[in-house]
Structure 1
């Protein structure tokens, strides 16, 4: 954001030589990249001239004007190797030194401590003093003259914290707190519940208390001030709950195999075990058990029983458990019909593929039979035409003979019939 540069300059107060005093304007507001100019009256004792307050937008380039004076006996120690620093009034804070891309643009040998700060952030807002360090007796902190640096910005680093912060049982009260770094301070907080792609406003204020639920677990907040808004990442409340058996869970039975599927969800992730006629089923040649997990809360298990008709089976139980409880699903094996409808998607897919394969083979066989019939009919028609043509020729010859030999009518008639039959 570009802000109009304005200077609120006061008349310089006279510096009394021999005291540690300074001449400064009270407040200066600058825009990014602006250069402040500050006159200073030099005298022969420890003094520094800097603005008392500087306000700047985050990310700005700030050039802070600074001139200083030292006692005459230290003039010989002032050289180009001297270092200028800006340190916090409260050294116990994490930002005891202002180190944001510091570059001294003034000539220290001429007692000019003008400094440039790049990419300032809100956490740089603090009260600082100037310090001069040379590799000799000339070392001094001008603690009596302070600069109040105010870095303005919209809310940044917006985040959600929870109490209690770890896994909580379902229906437990959880307190959510929204925090953000902003200057000026945050004016309003808004809370949202995230349900997939849908976001619903559920409250306002920095603190929100909710009831832990397996249905709604994701929340985020927005913090706003006069310069803009900041949004937090989604926060997931880690809700623990006992296992639940999910649909689809079911069985399919053939003459050779019994296939059953069981799905469960829980937090912590549940374990799945199979029990056949009350006995725990272990992996063997007659029992094949496979288990997989799609995430840390869902688990799925499939059991295959080979040659089920040779066994006196009655009930099969899928049991899911974690430390919060158990859940079971009982399958009545005796009531299952052979080749019954498969309710499990994977088993259903296998049956569909097998059915499609058999159907395809049937279609190929029908096409082949039809092709053979067509070929056979074509050859039959050719043969019939040949026989018909021969018979017609015989009838024509007989007619001519009848005209020439009328008395032997019956003889030629018999010849025609015999010829036709032959």
Structure 2
């Protein structure tokens, strides 16, 4: 018999129980024997197996063990905090065998169920590792075991198991660790139904998954993203997703089939000359691997002839083609008098 059992108020509780007898008493174990549970230091009789079903017991229940086989396991129903105490077992038979067993069990009644436990308590793995999580919850009432639910399920296998001898319900979640699981909170919720129409109770525990993975989704961003005036700064930034975070980057300019190394660092700044136009690429360097970004094409304006701020701007040619920061409209005027 365990020393302590935690029971949920409004639910049943099972007391695992067995006993031994001194030599010479074996033959006294007959069908006439009954089991009695006594509460507290006053040894008040709260359950008598011979009164099962009569409604005369203080605590209703059922002795499920076979006394003739020295089994005295008992289920007591609709347990409340009023019965928070220790209990002792007494055996009575219609003969000389009557005995108060010295062992006792303390039953602690709680209004809320204890949190389930997760094993392992932490998940810190490499991407691609197979992970098995076990959620365990106390099941003090065999007829109303808790229902265990995983959130999220991770679209993988879930297997429910029951360990009756230990009064524990377990559920197994299997998944293969991916970078999308990094930082994910995985929770296990235990839902307990109670007796006599009382509302359900639940408890939850969770852990945060840590997954180590190489650079992914490496890309180049350009700032500013709009039009650029020649001579102003243009900053290229290399973005990459990895755990641990990427700290080393290398920059390249693509000249045909060749890649010319420009420098290192998360960002690279250009002075925005026309000769800087072209394709750029960065590479994220990481202890777990490397990844190159998709090429980024950078177009910078060419130098333009000076524009007159006011008056009429004249050009001897029939048309004018300019590369400027923004589109501008020019009207061609046919002057009446000849030009000098």
Q: TM-score, normalised by structure 1?
A: 0.41
Larger Rg: 1
* Structure with greater strand percent: 2
* Structure with greater helix percent: 1
